[in-house]
Chain A
Amino acid sequence: MMRFIRPRLRKPLLRGIALLGIAGAWVIGSHTWEPAIVIAVVAVGQTVYRYTWAGEDTDESALLGSRADERQKQVGLRARALSGSVAMAAAYIGLVIALAVKRADAWPFAALLAVTGFAYLLGLSSYGSGEPGPEDEVTAGRQARYPVNS
C-alpha cells in the first residue's frame, strides 16, 4: 500500500496516523472528544510540517522523505539503535525503582524490558549472527599460510 504513497509523504503520514491512533484511544478510554480533537489537529499539522521539512536539503529531511543514501541510512540506523538502547535502559531503571518502592504496577517496565531484549535477539538472528557455517574445504585442518594481522 505504501508504494502508492509518494516517498516524501510516507513517514510524515505514518507519524500522523500514529498520533490519530492516540486520539482514537483517548476517545475510547475517556469518552471525551475535546483532547482528541486537539491531538487530531496536531496530527494533521505535524504531517504538513514534516512533509514540508522532508523537502529540504539536509540529512534529517532525506531520512524523513524516504530518500536517504547509504551514509544517511547508517546515521538513521545508529540513531534507532541509540533510541532502542535508551528505551531498554529506561525500562530497566523503571523496573528497579518500581521494585524498590514495592509498587505493584512494575509489570509495564518488565514487559518493555522483555520486548526490547527480545527485539535485540530477533535482530541478531534476522541480520545474520548465525550465518558463519563450517570451515571451507581448503582451510579445514590446515594452518593459515599467510600471517594474520588482526
Chain B
Amino acid sequence: MGKRWTNRIALGVLWLCGITTVTMLGAVILYVFVRGVGQITPEFIFTKPHGVNAEGGIGPTIIATMYVTGLSMLIVTPIAVLAAVYLAEYAVQGKLVDAIRFAADTLASVPSIVMGLFGFALFVEAMGLGFSVLSGALALSFLMLPIVMRATEEAIRAVPKYIRWGSYGLGASKWQTVSRIVLPSALPRILTGIILAMGRAVGETAVVIFTMGQAVYLPLSPLDSGRSMTVHLYMLAMEGINMDAAYGTALLLMVMVLFFNLSARWLAARNRRLQG
C-alpha cells in the first residue's frame, strides 16, 4: 500500500523531470524564434553589416563560420580517421594507448576559453599567423579531434569481424583490408561523427574570438581575419544596442546547429535501417 503510493508519486516526479527538460528547450527555442524571426530576410542573410551598431545583414559572418568550420574539417578528418584506425586495428593494450585515450578525453573536455587562449598563444602569436581563418581552424581542429576519433573508432569496430576474415582469407594485406573493406563500410558512421563535430564547431565562441578575431570583412584567404556568427552574436549581445540583429543571428545560428544535429541523426537512423 505504502509502496504503491510512493511509486506513483515517484513516477510523477520523474515524468515532471522529463516534461521540464522538454519545456526548457521549448522555451529557449521559442524565445529566440519569436524575437529573431522578424529579422530573417534575404537582406539579412546576404548583405554585410555597416555602421557602428552593425545595421544591415550578417552575410560575411555566415561565410566566415562556414569557412572556418570547413577548413578545420579538412584539417582534422585525415588525422582523426587515421588515428582511429591505429587504435582500432593496430593498437595493443598498454601505456601508449592509455596515454592516447587520456589525451583524447582531455582534449574533449578542455574549456573553450583555454583552447582559445592556447590558439592565441600558439597560432596567432608564436607561429605568426595572426588573427586568421587558419588560426581559428587549427584551434577548432584540436577540439574536434577527439569527437571524430571516437566516432571513427566505434564505426570501425562495428564492422563485423567476418568481413575482415574474408578479406584476409583472400590474401589481402592489412592496409588493403582497412582501406578497401573496413573504412568504406564504416563510412556512414564516420560521416555522422564528422557532422556532429561540425555542429559543435559552429557553436564555438571563445575559441574563435581569440584566434580568428573580429574583423567584420569577408575573409577571402585563410590568412584573413573574419568574424564568425557566434562572435558577432556575442559582440551584439554585449553591446546591447542592436538587439534585433542579435536575435536574428542567434536564430540563424541555432538553425545551423539544428541542421547539423538533425542530419547526423538522420544519417545514423538511415544507416541503422540499411544495416539491419
Say if A and B assemble together.
no
- Partner-B contacts on A (CB < 8 A): none
Chain B interface residues (CB < 8 Å from chain A) = none
